[in-house]
Each structure stands twice: as structure tokens, then as C-alpha cells.
Structure 1
Amino acid sequence: MAGLLKVQGTKIVDTQGYAVVLKGAGIGGHMNMENFITGYPGQEAEHKEALLKAMGQEKFDYFFDKFYEYFWTDKDAEFFKSLNLNCLRIPFNYRHFVDDADLFTIKPKGFALLDRIVDICAKHEIYVILDLHAVPGGQNQDWHSDSGIHKALFFQFSVFQDSMIHLWKEIASHYAGNPWIAGYNPLNEPADSKHHRLVEFYIKVEKAIREVDPDHIIYLDANTYAMDFSQFPATPFPNTVYAIHDYSVYGFPGTGDHYSGTPEEKQNLLKLYSRKIEYMKQKKVPVWNGEFGPVYASEARGDINYEKANQRRYQVLKDQLAIYKTGDPSGDGAPISWSIWLYKDIGYQAITYVSPKSKWFQVLGDFLLKKQKLGLDKWGRDADPEVEKIYDRVKAHFHEAIPQEFHKLVYPNNFGIDNYVDRVLREMLLSQYMGYEFADLFKGLDFAELDELAASFKFENLETRDDLNKYLSEY
């Protein structure tokens, strides 16, 4: 066992001073659920409210108890380890630990869920990074912050920030001294339009964590969805790794269908990565790429030439991994640590995925195809062309009505007007309505059927994305 990890220059090292490269994945839609990962529309809180209304409390509790149990087991850990991966990133939603009506009383069940995964990982000698993926009010404008609106209210209300500082102090106290905790990731993909509020939060949360746990590494995401360190402090925090997310448009439907790994395309991948780690180069601190990875085409979703499309996207992945293999900010040609997004889903991105023959697809398959046709999810959106024509007209209206100079005042403006229209109309409003249709499919299912539904996510019942896994294991 390497003992507690720490930062030394631009490296993560063990107690003997040997460099450790963390290679792994985010666990998936478990303690933080995301719509494309398991198939529901919209935001997690709305999804669960709709399910509770449709199923009743007893069946709701039963289903989710089984879902959490089956999502990560010893067999998952064994397979994860067999791929030469050594670190699991665990995204979690604040609602597992506190209620909205009482943001400062910690619920023991959150620790029970988290401890179970940490203990399984420790048993199989897998490090864990704890990632607060959703906070009160939302730390960014997207669905995965589970706020239900397109504003990052977390940075506007000190009570939200104070409650999460309190939570992190409890978490750090709970896991202090645990050698299999690789560290704490206090905020996933923050997007603070004023920048300084994020930095001020980091200063406070770092201090609170260090009061109870001076030893574990802290992983700080850049602002604007883990891409912008331009307004971070001149003096880095001690024993801290700075985190980017490095998704490429080449890995997604549309643009990714034409990638062939030309020198120009590879140079563009390198340019985007190099821009994101400029702060780490200047300050001589480590970088961790907390998320990256293509979205893959699927025969089950009716994608044409899906095998050819996926070979192009695997090439994107391989070219990114080649950058990370010599991407240390010190310039000495050493590898960086990374965590691919993600380990388990229903067939979009993950190392393992739910079988199209499973109970999940028997019950929800037709709805999932309808959802895809409507293009409700931002991630991997590939809607029916006739549906796109409807939104194209709306987007054209917005472009005509909004002078470009005023859109530039909206943060983040690089997302574009089209993205904002999709976010509000599809990913939030229409998805809210569709969430009730999704939940309605759970009505009338008995306990045995609910168990089988949850067991769709058990490792024994999954498919594995073998080409992806080959490239990861050979890194």
C-alpha cells in the first residue's frame, strides 16, 4: 500500500516519494444521477419526485435501495482493476447528505452509501476521489448541477456556500487518515460569472477541510466548466491538484464523424489541452483531467454506420491519451492523472453499459427512443431532423431578435444562443413534462419487477465496451 498520497512539485507521489499516476473513471449515475446515463429526462430531483408520485414511498425506497446496491459491487471493482485502472471518481449530490429545508443537519444515509463504495474500492486497492457534483442552487447552468434552472445561484447565496463548507468539513473529518482516499474534489464544473466568488469559496472550503484533515489532496476544478484558471490566485494552495475537463467536439455526433487523426486535428487537441493547463505550467503544480471521452454511436439507437463512427471516436480517445501520456506541466514528458467519463451507463459513453436485452430496455426502451428523437438530452444529442427543424425556426427567431453584442454579455457567451434555447426549452421545460411520462412506466411494477429493473445495472448483466477498455488498459 502506498499510503496517503500528496503533491510534490508537478507530481502526485506516495509516502516513499514515488510518482503515482491516477487512471480511472467517474462511477456514473449513482449518487449523482444524470439524464443520459440512466435515461430519465431533465434533472435528478424532478426525476425522483415524479417517480415517488408514481410509485409510492415503499416501492420508491425499495427500487433505489436495490439500484444503489447493484450499481457498484465487488465484481465491478474486480473488472475495473483488471483494466489497470487505479482510481474511481465518485460524483455525489448534496441531497444525499442534507435536505433543502435543513442544509446544516447531516443525514447518516449519505455516509452509508459513500462508505460502501469506498470500502469496496479499498478492498480491491482502488483509490477514490470524492466529487461534490451538485450543490444547492446549482454551481453552473447545466442539468447536472440538479438545480432545475439555468442559473448558478450557489454563488449568489452565502447560506448555500456555508452549508457546503460545513458538509465538506464533516466529510473530511470522516475520511481523515484513510489511505485509499486520493482526495477531495469540492466542486464539479463551477461556472461563476464573476469569477472571484468561486475563488473566495475555494479559500473558505480549503481552510475548513484543512482544520480537520491537513493531509489529503484537494482537487480544484477551474471556473467555466473546469476550463478557465485565468483569475485564480497567484499563489497556489498547498497539497492541491488543479483539475481540468478536456472534452473535444471531435468526440461527439456530427463533428466526430469526420475525425481522422490528421496532424492538424491532433494539433488542435493539443492546443486546447495546453490552453487549459497554462496555470499549472506557470505555477508548477499538478494537473488532473477529471473528465473527458467521446460519445459513441449505437445500433440499438438506430445509428447508421455506427461501427465506422465509433472507430473515429476511438481515434479521438487514443490521440487524447497520447497527449496525457507526456502532458505533465513540468515539461519533462511524464504522464498526467486522468478520469474518463464514465464507468457505467445505458450505452452512450461508458466502459460498461446496460444490455439492450435487459429489463431496463424492456420497460423503458420505447420511451428512450422517443426521448432521443426529441433530442431532450444535451449529451450526445442526435434528434430527428424533422424535430430539429422546429427548433431551428425558434433559434432563427432568437438570432434575429437579439443583437450579437448583447449575447456577449451573457455568461458563458461562448455557448451560443442555440445552446441557451435548447437548454431552456428542451433540457428543462419539455423534459419536466416528459419526466412524468417516464415515471408512469414504473406504475404497477411489483417488487420482483423493480428488483429486476435495478439489477439491469449489476455487473453480471452488463455489456462491456471492449475497444475502449483495450485502449484504457494499455495506457
Structure 2
Amino acid sequence: MPEIHGYLRVRGTDVVDEDGNKVILKGAATGGHTNMENFITGYPGHEHEMRKALLEVLGKEKYEFFFEKVSFKLPARLICNAHPPTQFLEYFFTSSDAKLFASLGLNCLRIPLNHRYFMDDLNPSVIKPEGFKLVDRIVEACAAEGLYTILDMHTFPGGQNQGWHSDSGLHRALFWEYQDLQDRATNMWVEIAKHYAGNKWVAGYNPMNEPGDPDHYHLQKWYAVVEKAIREVDPHHILWLDGNTYSMDFSGFKDVLPNCVYAIHDYSNMGFPAGQPYDGTDEQKQILRKQYERKVEFMREHKVPIWNGEFGPVYASPGEDNYETINQQRYNLLGEQLSIYKQDQIHWSIWLYKDIGFQGMVYTNPDSAYMRLLQPFFAKKKRLGGRDDTHVKHIYDPLIQHLKEEIPEQFQRRRYPQHWGLEGHVHRVVRELLVSELLTYEYASYFEGKTTEELDELAASFKLENCLKRDGLNRILQEDAGITA
């Protein structure tokens, strides 16, 4: 294992090791793995709904075989020991992935976690050891290649935000309304901190991904509580704290906590299908700079380090109109963002490492078993507005127009997050809750009757050796790291 110089810690606006050497963490996140998201692996809706549907279709034994024997909101009596743990959860990230990551000059992997790996909602006082076994494997594989890891809690009981990626199945963040949910999360973090307190390759803990606190004060209160609780069992590790409203708003923040880095998420609309194409004009560059400067104003004022925990365009696929031109525009956009971050020498983590072909540095081969099986379903998701509104605009526009005519504008703006607008809230509730939940059962039906051998082949579609690399993206990351391909 490579040599390490102690725990990382905050010193002024820098992160340093125990010898005082400045360290800038650059990397990506393993979204779609220990926290699954629908566009990353292709299912609709929410992870817990998808898993429940697959359990119904596959049965207990094959379900556990496909994912690996890590208990995920299942009683211990349902865990099957008939097969070796070599399926999806191991295939997705192995030592080969860590080696590729290091070869690109990256030095930190953000590990998004679903809270259900550590607690069952019906038995929340018991912290499950299976979650640690899964995360340990990733942390150890990264450490062997000299890579730091940041543990990111991506979902919370009741949901910490209004988005589908909080895996609550709701359109409101109940986490902020119930003290017992907040206490559960704090207790969970105490146990995680106990487990990793002595691991110097862990660069720290990202206690909450993309908070969505409508009142703008519960978040700071919980941060103060969880920081104190973690410090009692682990005084060393940095906390990487997201801003409110999906890591974009620090207006409600007053003071800084010790040994903490504050985190933004810096996506640009120009990197998405509905956004303006990025042509690299001076005006567009100013837009990128201004949105970044607005988000980091709190860190500049308090002279603390900055971490951009998520950013990155999505990419067009071969067969789509002008896909090469579109992707080059988005590579150029990414390059401009990286140049901004390099000027300030901030820490960053792109979203994301591996998926089925939208954003990943690595993605599944279209000829793989998983992609061949689910291609008809992916096409249906696209028609139903899974990526853009092209095929459903004529359906939803009349509904949105009707609501705008009937609901006074000042009341339309009351719903948090306000920047989504009425259109965004309608799509969240109708498409991303109702429609996606119904589609979950259809997604699961594609797995019906599969043998263990077929399930293994489907899971192995996510092995690095069976995937493709997004060379244009990886080349930009290498160049930023100063590595010549």
C-alpha cells in the first residue's frame, strides 16, 4: 500500500496532511453502486421501489444472488448463502476500477451511500454490519492504489430533499419535520465514524448529500449536532458539508464549524439537453463564473476550503442527431469549469464514474447482456420523458398551462424549491413519482425467469473489463491532473 502522511485536516483555506503538505482532492463519485439512481442504471423511480419489485419477480434467493449478499432492508432470515458474493455490487467497483481511476491522475473517490445499507426503517436502532463490509471493500481497493475516499450519505429516512435521488418515494422532505428521523441519522453517523476513525485513507465524511430544508435553519442545527456527535468518537476526520437547496445556497449559514470543508454542486444548464448549447462565448464563460462565485461567497467570506462535490454534463449517444458535435460542446464546457476551479485550487468530484451511457467516465457496452435485455424499456423511458420532453410536451403543457391559469402566480412561487417553477414541480410529482412507480413493475418483469447464470451475466455487464471508456472525458481529466495519455 502506498505511503500516507496521516489524517487530512483543514488549515485556513487549504486541506493539508499531517506534514503540512497541501492536498487538492480531485475525483468522481460511484453513483449507481452503493446508492443506485434511476438514470445511472436505467430503472425508473426510486431504488427501494425497484428492489422491492425485483424481489417479487426473482424471489429471495435469486434477488440476493443478483445484488450480492448484503442485507438491504431484508430480514436476516431472507439472506441466501447458496452463491458466492460475486454479482452486481462487486462487479461494479473492483481493484481494476481503482487502478483505472489512479491512472488518470485522480486521487479521491466519493462513495454515495443509501442509509438502508446501515439501518432498516422498521428496526432503526440496529446498525447493520453488512454495510460496513461493502464499503470496506471499496475503501481498501482505493487505498491500495493511493486513493482517498469520502463517505457520502446520499439518502435519509423520510428524505432529506424533495428529489427522487433521496430515495424516499415522496415529494417532500420529511426528515426536517421529525426529530426522531434526525436522531436516527445522527446515531448512524456515530457508528460509521467509530468504524472509520482510524482509517487515514478516508478523507472524511460528507454527512448529507443535497439537503433541501425549506425553512433554511434545520440544516445548520443538524450539522452542529452531528458534528459534535462525530467528534466525540472521531476527532480527526474532515466533515465535507453541503449547502442547502441541493448544495447551492449558503444564505442561511452563519458560522463555520471546525475542521470542515463546505461544498457546492455546480451543474450548468448548458450541459443538459434542455439547456443552451455551449459555444464558448465570453458571455457563456461569464455565466459559468458568476454561478460559481455566487455559490462560494460564504467560503470566501469565512476563508475556508471549497469542495465542488458534483458537476458535469450529460453526453449524447451514437445514433442521436449531431451527437459528436454535442459531446464536443460539453467537453469544452467541462474544460472551462475545470479551468475556473484550477484558478482557485478547489477540491472537486465529478458526477460520475460509471453508468449506462449518460455521464460516466466508464459505461456499459451497448452489446452487453444488460443493455440488450433492457433496450426496449430504455426506449420507452425516453418516450415518456425520461431524458427530455420531446415526446410528452404536448401532454404536459396543457396541464401546466391550466394550473397557471387557475393558481395565482404568487402562490405558485410558494412551493420549495422555488427555482424549479411550477413546471418542475408538476414533472416531479407526476412523472418522477406516479409514472415512474408504475413503470418499476415493468422494469422488473424483464428479469422474470432468469437463471442464476443469466443474472450473473447481466450483473457482469458493469464489470470494467466489459465496459467502454469515455475517452474524451477521461482525456480532459488527465490533462487537468497534468498526465499525458
RMSD (CA atoms): 0.8
For residue 2 of structure 1, report the CA deviation from its aligned partner.
Answer: 2.6
**Counterpart residue number, 2:350:** 340
**Counterpart residue number, 2:35:** 32
For residue 177 of structure 1, report the CA deviation from its aligned partner.
Answer: 2.1
Do 2:53 and 2:444's aligned partners in 1 also have CA atoms closer than 8 Å? Answer: yes
The code of the aligned residue for 2:411 comes to F
CA distance in structure 2 between the aligned counterparts of 1:213 and 1:336, rounded to whole angstroms: 25
Do 1:139 and 1:153's aligned partners in 2 also have CA atoms closer than 8 Å? Answer: yes
**Counterpart residue number, 1:181:** 202
Q: Out of 436, 445, 448, which is 1:443 matched to? A: 448
**3-state SS of the aligned residue for 1:396?**
helix
CA deviations over 1:64-119 (Å, ceiling 9, x no partner): 01110101101100100010000000000000010010112001101111111011
**Counterpart residue number, 1:166:** 187
Q: Out of 116, 130, 136, which is 1:109 matched to? A: 130
**Counterpart residue number, 2:372:** 362
1:433 pairs with 2:438: yes
**Counterpart residue number, 1:332:** none
For residue 383 of structure 1, report the CA deviation from its aligned partner.
Answer: 4.0
**3-state SS of the aligned residue for 2:154?**
strand
Do 1:4 and 1:177's aligned partners in 2 also have CA atoms closer than 8 Å? Answer: no
Q: Out of 277, 280, 297, which is 1:261 matched to? A: 280
CA deviations over 1:139-165 (Å, ceiling 9, x no partner): 000000001010000000111110110
> Structure 1: which 4+ aligned runs deviate by more than 3 Å?
none
1:240 pairs with 2:260: yes
CA distance in structure 1 between the aligned counterparts of 2:114 and 2:278, rounded to whole angstroms: 35
For residue 232 of structure 1, report the CA deviation from its aligned partner.
Answer: 1.0
**Counterpart residue number, 2:46:** 43
CA deviations over 1:261-304 (Å, ceiling 9, x no partner): 111100110000000000000000001000000010112xx421
For residue 403 of structure 1, report the CA deviation from its aligned partner.
Answer: 1.1
**Counterpart residue number, 1:331:** none
**Counterpart residue number, 2:152:** 131
Q: Out of 306, 310, 313, which is 2:330 matched to? A: 313
**Counterpart residue number, 1:292:** 311
1:204 pairs with 2:204: no
Aligned identity (percent) is: 56
**3-state SS of the aligned residue for 2:168?**
coil
The gaps in structure 2 that reach 5 residues or longer are 69-86, 481-485
CA distance in structure 2 between the aligned counterparts of 1:228 and 1:284, rounded to whole angstroms: 17
Do 1:290 and 1:340's aligned partners in 2 also have CA atoms closer than 8 Å? Answer: yes
CA distance in structure 2 between the aligned counterparts of 1:410 and 1:392, rounded to whole angstroms: 19
CA distance in structure 1 between the aligned counterparts of 2:379 and 2:197, rounded to whole angstroms: 45
**Counterpart residue number, 1:464:** 469
**3-state SS of the aligned residue for 1:436?**
helix
For residue 233 of structure 1, report the CA deviation from its aligned partner.
Answer: 2.3
For residue 316 of structure 1, report the CA deviation from its aligned partner.
Answer: 0.8
CA distance in structure 2 between the aligned counterparts of 1:278 and 1:307, rounded to whole angstroms: 36
CA distance in structure 1 between the aligned counterparts of 2:188 and 2:67, rounded to whole angstroms: 23
TM-score, normalised with respect to structure 2 = 0.94
CA deviations over 1:15-51 (Å, ceiling 9, x no partner): 1111111000001201111000000000001010011
CA distance in structure 1 between the aligned counterparts of 2:157 and 2:383, rounded to whole angstroms: 31
CA distance in structure 2 between the aligned counterparts of 1:367 and 1:225, rounded to whole angstroms: 29
1:271 pairs with 2:281: no
**Counterpart residue number, 2:72:** none
**Counterpart residue number, 2:320:** 303
**3-state SS of the aligned residue for 2:6?**
coil
CA distance in structure 2 between the aligned counterparts of 1:409 and 1:50, rounded to whole angstroms: 35
**3-state SS of the aligned residue for 1:275?**
helix
The code of the aligned residue for 2:354 comes to K
Do 1:217 and 1:241's aligned partners in 2 also have CA atoms closer than 8 Å? Answer: yes
Do 2:207 and 2:240's aligned partners in 1 also have CA atoms closer than 8 Å? Answer: yes
CA distance in structure 2 between the aligned counterparts of 1:97 and 1:158, rounded to whole angstroms: 19
**3-state SS of the aligned residue for 1:326?**
helix
CA distance in structure 1 between the aligned counterparts of 2:59 and 2:393, rounded to whole angstroms: 36
For residue 169 of structure 1, report the CA deviation from its aligned partner.
Answer: 0.4
The code of the aligned residue for 1:382 comes to D
CA distance in structure 1 between the aligned counterparts of 2:409 and 2:48, rounded to whole angstroms: 35
Q: Out of 156, 173, 179, which is 1:152 matched to? A: 173
Do 2:238 and 2:259's aligned partners in 1 also have CA atoms closer than 8 Å? Answer: yes
**Counterpart residue number, 1:252:** 272
1:17 pairs with 2:20: yes
Q: Out of 383, 391, 397, which is 1:373 matched to? A: 383
Do 2:413 and 2:422's aligned partners in 1 also have CA atoms closer than 8 Å? Answer: no
CA distance in structure 2 between the aligned counterparts of 1:361 and 1:384, rounded to whole angstroms: 23
Do 1:355 and 1:461's aligned partners in 2 also have CA atoms closer than 8 Å? Answer: yes
